[in-house]
Amino acid sequence: MTAGASPGGLTILNLYGLRGSAEDFVAATQALADRVRREGHPGVLSYRFWVDAASAQGRAVIDYADAAAWTGHHDIAMDWPEMAALHEAAALSEVTFLGKVTPEILAWMADGPLHARLIEGYVPSAGFAR
């Protein structure tokens, strides 16, 4: 494996269906990203959102240091009003895990408030980061 394709890291691709306007999604994601940057789990390495008003969809790409950072982030942020605002602005429809999905993540998804199509099985094969 090439440097940068960390076997412990986890990248998440989220797909959202907008419930309201693209502007609502932008406002909600900006507020949430700001709070995650200030008070979120230190294992959240990047937290990025996109919106396509024409298709009424949003996307997120989130990089975590490891699987424990994913569960830690959700344990911290799920009760925040900023997270509630995101879920009012958009419905999470699909979560793609790029990296190892642990039993803890699967249990969290099964028992937690997030309900979306889960795609997993992708493990690092090659790559680098600059």
Average pLDDT, rounded, for the chain = 92
Mean pLDDT of 27-37: 98
For residue 66, tell me if it sits in a domain. Answer: yes
For residue 75, tell me if it sits in a domain. Answer: yes
| Amino acid 130: pLDDT | 82
Q: What's the total number of domains in the chain? A: 1
pLDDT tens digits, 48-68: 999 999 999 999 999 999 999
Q: Give buried/exposed letters for 66-79 (b at 16+ CB in 10 A, else e).
A: bbbbbbbbbebbee
pLDDT tens digits, 86-105: 999 999 999 999 998 999 99
For residue 109, tell me if it sits in a domain. Answer: no
pLDDT tens digits, 102-119: 999 999 888 878 888 999
Closest by Cα among 111, 119, 123, 9 to 70: 9
Run of H or E residues at 46:
strand 44-52
| Domain of residue 67, CATH code | 3.30.70.100
Task: Identify the domain containing residue 49 by its residue range.
Answer: 19-91
Q: How far apart are CA 84 and CA 55, in angstroms?
A: 22
Q: How far apart are CA 14 and CA 94, in angstroms?
A: 6
For residue 33, tell me if it sits in a domain. Answer: yes
| Amino acid 124: pLDDT | 86
